[in-house]
Structure 1
Amino acid sequence: MYEIIMQNLLSPVVLFFVLGLIAALFKSDLKFPTGLNEALSIFLLIAIGLKGGIELSNYTLSEVAIPVLATLLLGSILPIITLLMLKMIKLDTKNALALAATYGSVSIVTFGAAISFLDHVNLTYEGFMNAMVVLMESPAIIMSILLLKILENKNKELYPSQKVAFTSPATSLIDKEVLKETFFGKSILLLLGSLLIGLVVGERAIPVIQPLFIDLYSSILILFLLSMGLTAGQRLPEVRQHGVKLLLFGIFMPIVAGAIGVLTGHAIGLSLGGVTLMGVLAGSASYIAAPAALRTSIPEANPSIYLGLALGITFPFNLIFGIPLYYQFAQWLQIF
Structure 2
Amino acid sequence: MGSVLELAASNLLSPIILCFALGLVAALARSDLNFPEAVAKGMSLYLLFAIGFKGGVSVADHGVDAQLLWSMLAAVVLSALLPFVAYLLLRAITKLSALDAAAVAAHYGSISIVTFVAASSVLDAQGIGYEGYMVAVAAAMEAPAIVSALWLVSRSSGKGAMSSELLREILLNGSIVLLVGSFIIGWVTGPSGKVEIDAFITAPFKGVLCLFLLDMGLVAGRGLRNARGVVSMPVVVFGLVMPLIGASFGIVAGMVLGLSVGGVALIAVLSASASYIAVPAAMRVALPEANPAVYLTLSLGITFPFNLTVGIPVYLAAAQALGG
TM-score normalised per structure 1: 0.91
1:224 pairs with one of 201, 212, 225 = 212
1:195 pairs with one of 165, 183, 186 = 183
Contact preservation (8 Å) 1:236, 1:308: yes
Q: Distance in 2 between matches of 1:141 and 1:48?
A: 23
Aligned to 1:51: 54
What is the CA deviation profile of residues 254-280 of structure 1, one whole-angstrom value per residue up to 9, with x for unaligned ones?
011111111111111111111100110
What is the CA deviation profile of residues 95-128 of structure 1, one whole-angstrom value per residue up to 9, with x for unaligned ones?
1111111111000100010011111222111111
2:73 pairs with one of 62, 66, 69 = 69
Aligned to 1:263: 252
Secondary structure of the residue that 1:105 maps to in structure 2? coil
Residues 37, 146 of structure 1: CA spacing in aligned structure 2 closer, same or farther, 3 A cutoff?
Answer: same
| Structure 1 residues not aligned, in runs of 5+ | 156-171
**RMSD between aligned residues:** 1.5
Q: Distance in 1 between matches of 2:162 and 2:233?
A: 35
Q: Distance in 2 between matches of 1:211 and 1:180?
A: 35
Measure how far apart 1:206 and its partner are: 0.4
Contact preservation (8 Å) 1:272, 1:331: yes
* Range with bigger deviation, 189-198 or 274-283: 189-198
Secondary structure of the residue that 2:167 maps to in structure 1? helix
What is the CA deviation profile of residues 123-145 of structure 1, one whole-angstrom value per residue up to 9, with x for unaligned ones?
11111112211111111122212
Q: Does residue 134 of structure 1 match 2:143?
A: no
Q: Distance in 2 between matches of 1:63 and 1:260?
A: 18
Q: Distance in 1 between matches of 2:199 and 2:155?
A: 48
1:237 pairs with one of 178, 203, 225 = 225
What is the CA deviation profile of residues 225-277 of structure 1, one whole-angstrom value per residue up to 9, with x for unaligned ones?
00001111001134442210111111111011111111111111111111100
Residues 152, 176 of structure 1: CA spacing in aligned structure 2 closer, same or farther, 3 A cutoff?
Answer: farther
1:183 pairs with one of 154, 158, 171 = 171
1:147 pairs with one of 148, 152, 171 = 152
Contact preservation (8 Å) 1:239, 1:312: no
Aligned length: 318
| Structure 2 residues not aligned, in runs of 5+ | none
Q: Does residue 297 of structure 1 match 2:301?
A: no
What is the CA deviation profile of residues 40-86 of structure 1, one whole-angstrom value per residue up to 9, with x for unaligned ones?
11111111221222222232232311111111111111011011101
Secondary structure of the residue that 2:31 maps to in structure 1? coil
1:85 pairs with one of 67, 85, 89 = 89
Larger Rg: 1
Opposite residue 232 of structure 1, the aligned amino acid is: A
Q: Distance in 2 between matches of 1:32 and 1:308?
A: 20
What is the CA deviation profile of residues 188-237 of structure 1, one whole-angstrom value per residue up to 9, with x for unaligned ones?
11112222222222222102331112221111100100000111100113
Contact preservation (8 Å) 1:105, 1:138: yes
Q: Distance in 1 between matches of 2:58 and 2:154?
A: 37
TM-score normalised per structure 2: 0.94
Q: Does residue 323 of structure 1 match 2:324?
A: no
Opposite residue 188 of structure 2, the aligned amino acid is: V
Q: Distance in 1 between matches of 2:118 and 2:31?
A: 25
Q: Does residue 16 of structure 1 match 2:19?
A: yes
What is the CA deviation profile of residues 258-316 of structure 1, one whole-angstrom value per residue up to 9, with x for unaligned ones?
11111111111111111100110000001011111111011111111111111111101
Q: Distance in 1 between matches of 2:157 and 2:234?
A: 27
Q: Does residue 204 of structure 1 match 2:192?
A: yes
Secondary structure of the residue that 2:168 maps to in structure 1? helix
Q: Distance in 2 between matches of 1:195 and 1:184?
A: 15
Q: Distance in 2 between matches of 1:26 and 1:83?
A: 34
Aligned to 2:122: 117
